[in-house]
Structure 1
Amino acid sequence: MTDITPDTALPERLARAITLAGPVPVAQYMAAANAHYYATRDPLGATGDFTTAPEISQMFGELLGLWCADLWDRAGRPDIAWVELGPGRGTLAADALRAMAKAGLVPPVHFVETSPALRTA
């Protein structure tokens, strides 16, 4: 069930998996449902299904960025990278990186986004 394609109906894929391998663990079912949900829509914001803290206010991301910059400075300013799993529209990263830059921290950025809709956004 690792093939997550929006054009394949989720109920059909789950039924096929159950037919071939027997009962599906809850973790596998939830992983498939979650992957399908995010692969087929942009759920964020006023037109989506929910709003995250970074979409409401830049304060959350800025505080996170300042916290990271403080830890980085106290650790002796080692080489680091900003790696974000499921960055959505990148709002959290934009706010955090802006605050980090003011403290002299400008790390390379790596986003890991599995949703085609959110990668586009």
Structure 2
Amino acid sequence: MLILQHPFFKRFKRILVNTVRCEYSENARHLSARKAKMSANGLTSQAQLRYKYFQAPDPMAQVIHQELYASWERSLSLFESAALFTTQVSESGDLLLNSSLLVAGWSKRFQRISY
């Protein structure tokens, strides 16, 4: 992972990496909202390039989404990790850490705050 070769990271003996997993449907919903906001503000050509892979037809975009996580996992396997953490929001809205319940109904609480 090239980012960890940056001089900033060389100052630390250990670095915690917490992968935040997001299902494709949630990712697509968030992306759609960002794109709508950007187009209302005038979408730049730079932003269009950034999102080009997510403009693929839905089945292809799902494959790209899966490959992004797979690539991340392969990169993490190159490190001598003391521990690996994965944070995910379940379909029921619970916040999970390494598949164990951390906060029940987390996303529902967040939705109430954001509206």
TM-score, normalised relative to structure 2? 0.30
Structure with more contact order per residue of length (Cα contacts < 8 Å, sep ≥ 6): 1
More strand, by proportion: 2
- Structure label with greater radius of gyration: 1
TM-score, normalised relative to structure 1? 0.29
